[in-house]
Structure 1
Amino acid sequence: MAEITQELIENFQFEGTYTEGVPYGSGHINDTFRFTFQTEKGNRRYIVQRMNKSIFLKPEELMENVVGVTSWLKKKITENGGDSERETLNLVPTKEGKSYYVDKNGDYWRVYLFIEGATTYDLVQNKEDFYQSAVAFGHFQGLLADYPAETLHETIVDFHNTVDRFAKFKKAVDEDAFGRAKDVEEEIRFVLERESLAHVLCDMLAEKKIPLRVTHNDTKLNNIMIDDVTGKAICVIDLDTVMPGLAVNDFGDSIRFGASTGAEDEKDLSKVACDLELFELYTKGFIEGCGGSLTETELDMLPMGAMTMTFECGMRFLTDYLEGDHYFKIHREGHNLDRCRTQFKLVKDMEEKAERMKEIVNQYR
């Protein structure tokens, strides 16, 4: 790493003298480091990342997205009187003025200013954190509401194309490459009975009933920086999956993950349900953060977003199980099956609570 570190120091516009480089964070996709430089004004820290080319096949396009979105956010935040150094990611250019650097091994690197005085959390410490993440992701939507989403690249093609996910699931069932279909007939039937669910939002987008938006596509708590002093969310991070999509899907994925009463791989399904108190908390924060940028139809479809994202995720886990567990990392036999069952239990619970979820949305719209 020392040799690469020197190469990076020589090629990015760092300030000061390099003093330290350490691995940083809990991300599983990119290799992330924190570099410290000594300047006349004290320490200056940076986030340095090697992008994962096996997942992001076109890093140049990914970085075009990041540059476009962060530049837009910086402008909007400044116009609103905010602190653009803390409220959005700030790329540090190379000495050639580019947003990324390709090292001698062909690896792609980028550098961000380190956001001081703020922390990310992998797990919800308290309900306020969940609410703050909702406000932050809603605010992200609001700031980018008039960004031309169609100009963004799809960093992962068909990522939330639920119709395509359904087709891939059916193919996995038909091929049954690992002879597992006979053991999961109930789960397969669950998906097949809900084919129409895979179409609802995709069809609405195709019919222009809901707009194409800039979406984050990984709306977990640990992609929000919380101010250490105020406890308020200040910045949305990890913009690698920012691409054109549906705002209701960003909302829905947060509910899928954050409002569940059980872990994503909980074996005891009696522990798994959609917590309506947490659903309400997130709904309130998200709508508030959006600041009126969502259409009436999008607001109507927020519960459907939660149901669709949960269904899609469960379907993906089941597809991976049928295909021999090659995509999601597993830590035990049948791990993907456990994951898919929790998602399907959540879907069923959401179906039963759909009317109440709609009432909650109506309360805050």
Structure 2
Amino acid sequence: MMANNEVTLANVAGHFRLEGEVSSIKAYGDGHINRTYLVTTDRKRYILQKMNTNVFPDTENLMRNIELVTSYLHSKGKETLDIVRTDDGATYYADATGAWRIYAFIEHTISYNMVPDAEVFRDAGAAFGDFQNELASFDASQLKETVAHFHDTPSRFLDFKAALAQDREGRVSGCREEIRFFVDQADWYPKITDGLSNGSIPLRVTHNDTKLNNILMDATTHKARAIIDLDTIMPGSMLYDFGDSIRFGASTALEDERDLDKVHFSTELFKAYARGFLGEVKPSITDGELRLMPESAIIMTLECGMRFLADYLSGDTYFATSYPEHNLVRCRTQIKLVREMERKLEDSHRIIDEVMKELG
């Protein structure tokens, strides 16, 4: 006899156009936001997800964004997520248990939670650069903002100050040094949003969550095959994607490393990623974007760090945590990275100049 959860999952899967008979549905992956399951039939494998409608309340436009972008990429011959339709042709199914979607499983792939070497990170840069390049001619205005102010760093700072003022869990007194750090960095926050507002930075289709583990690499060649986790596909700046990639991938440690002596900003990894990324976007990147590439890494790291700290102050309601100080630990790794990024800012600008000269 199946447990209640298994019955629910089997019933949900039954509303989609799957090939073959379902033989198993098992929890899969380690994502923080959606609940993910691997569905196996006698013919194929699929990814079933229960979408987090608290984080992404606008399910209709979220799936519309994904459908528009994946259809466009498919039309250009790119490997990407393949949405499995429901019996009535919809992109997702909703009932009393939640909102559900299914993608075809992309076989013979792997992903990394941390950069294993510079070559893999260069390939990651090329993958996200190619993603940007392929979508450069896509009309970003077709997409809806499904999470308001997602990478609007000044808005995130206001959220942070609201969490600080409320001090819902009484945690402010234990992290005053971290709080002071983000308050003192406020001059950084509007640099990208101001550029979008005044037109010096173009509006583009952006992934907005460019962690290394959102690239599926071929299990044999280790070359990038597909960009996944498209929930945050929205109009934005190329700098969001570049900066967040550096934040995550040019660190020598995981973002929840307790030992800060292990956390460093690697200019070697920065250069590797820049080579891959710029090699793809060179035909379309603007001078305004180029000038802010090193700064974008600082801004995205500051934004992520203050989000971790705001969530800690608010009782850990957004990011999944494994222990009470988990978000505070994450915040501290971001602070350490920002400090090193600031010290090495001139080096980073020199690297961008060198890479552009190499590319000709």
1:269 aligns with 2:269: no
1:31 aligns with 2:23: no
* Aligned 8 A contact 1:19 1:36 in 2: yes
CA distance in 2, matches of 1:323, 1:9: 36
* Aligned 8 A contact 2:32 2:319 in 1: no
* Aligned 8 A contact 1:140 1:290 in 2: no
Describe the superposition over 1:109-167 as per-residue Cα deviations: whole angstroms up to 9, x where unpaired. 21212212222233333333222221111111111112121221222211111101111
1:318 aligns with 2:309: yes
Question: Displacement of 1:203 after TM fit?
Answer: 0.8
* Aligned 8 A contact 2:32 2:320 in 1: no
Give the secondary-structure state (helix, strand or coil) at the position aligned to 1:315: helix
Question: Displacement of 1:88 after TM fit?
Answer: 0.7
CA distance in 1, matches of 2:315, 2:84: 41
Give the alignment partner of residue 159 of structure 1, picking from 150, 153, 168.
Answer: 150
The equivalent residue for 1:227 is 218
1:334 aligns with 2:334: no
CA distance in 2, matches of 1:62, 1:306: 26
CA distance in 2, matches of 1:330, 1:2: 25
Relative distance call for 1:45 and 1:179 in structure 2 (3 A) is closer
* Aligned 8 A contact 2:6 2:25 in 1: no
In structure 1, what residue type is equivalent to 2:205? V
Question: Displacement of 1:172 after TM fit?
Answer: 2.9
CA distance in 2, matches of 1:102, 1:332: 32
Give the secondary-structure state (helix, strand or coil) at the position aligned to 1:35: strand
Relative distance call for 1:120 and 1:300 in structure 2 (3 A) is same
Gaps of 5+ in 1: 78-83
The residue correspondences of 1:208-357 to structure 2 (distance < 5 A) are 208-357=199-348
Relative distance call for 1:191 and 1:36 in structure 2 (3 A) is closer
1:113 aligns with 2:104: yes
Relative distance call for 1:305 and 1:60 in structure 2 (3 A) is same
The residue correspondences of 1:74-93 to structure 2 (distance < 5 A) are 74-77=74-77, 84=78, 87-93=79-85
CA distance in 1, matches of 2:153, 2:350: 26
RMSD over aligned CA atoms reads: 2.1
* Aligned 8 A contact 1:139 1:291 in 2: no
Question: Displacement of 1:30 after TM fit?
Answer: 2.0
Give the secondary-structure state (helix, strand or coil) at the position aligned to 2:202: coil
Relative distance call for 1:324 and 1:18 in structure 2 (3 A) is closer
TM-score, reference length from structure 1: 0.89
The equivalent residue for 1:71 is 71
Relative distance call for 1:9 and 1:169 in structure 2 (3 A) is closer
Question: Displacement of 1:338 after TM fit?
Answer: 2.7
Question: Displacement of 1:32 after TM fit?
Answer: 2.0
In structure 1, what residue type is equivalent to 2:80? T
CA distance in 2, matches of 1:96, 1:109: 14
Range moving further from structure 2, 179-188 or 220-229: 179-188
1:16 aligns with 2:16: no
Describe the superposition over 1:243-300 as per-residue Cα deviations: whole angstroms up to 9, x where unpaired. 1121111111111111112332334433322110011111111112335222121122
In structure 1, what residue type is equivalent to 2:54? S
Question: Displacement of 1:92 after TM fit?
Answer: 1.6
Describe the superposition over 1:210-252 as per-residue Cα deviations: whole angstroms up to 9, x where unpaired. 0111111211111111112222101001111111121111111
1:61 aligns with 2:65: no
Question: Displacement of 1:59 after TM fit?
Answer: 1.1
Q: Percent identity?
A: 47
Give the secondary-structure state (helix, strand or coil) at the position aligned to 2:257: coil
* Aligned 8 A contact 1:224 1:234 in 2: yes
CA distance in 1, matches of 2:29, 2:248: 20
1:101 aligns with 2:88: no
* Aligned 8 A contact 1:100 1:111 in 2: yes
Question: Displacement of 1:204 after TM fit?
Answer: 1.0
CA distance in 1, matches of 2:6, 2:180: 54
1:150 aligns with 2:154: no
The equivalent residue for 2:165 is 174
The equivalent residue for 2:51 is 51
Gaps of 5+ in 2: none
In structure 1, what residue type is equivalent to 2:192? L
Describe the superposition over 1:153-190 as per-residue Cα deviations: whole angstroms up to 9, x where unpaired. 22221111110111122233334444443443332322
Question: Displacement of 1:205 after TM fit?
Answer: 0.9
Give the secondary-structure state (helix, strand or coil) at the position aligned to 1:11: coil
TM-score, reference length from structure 2: 0.90
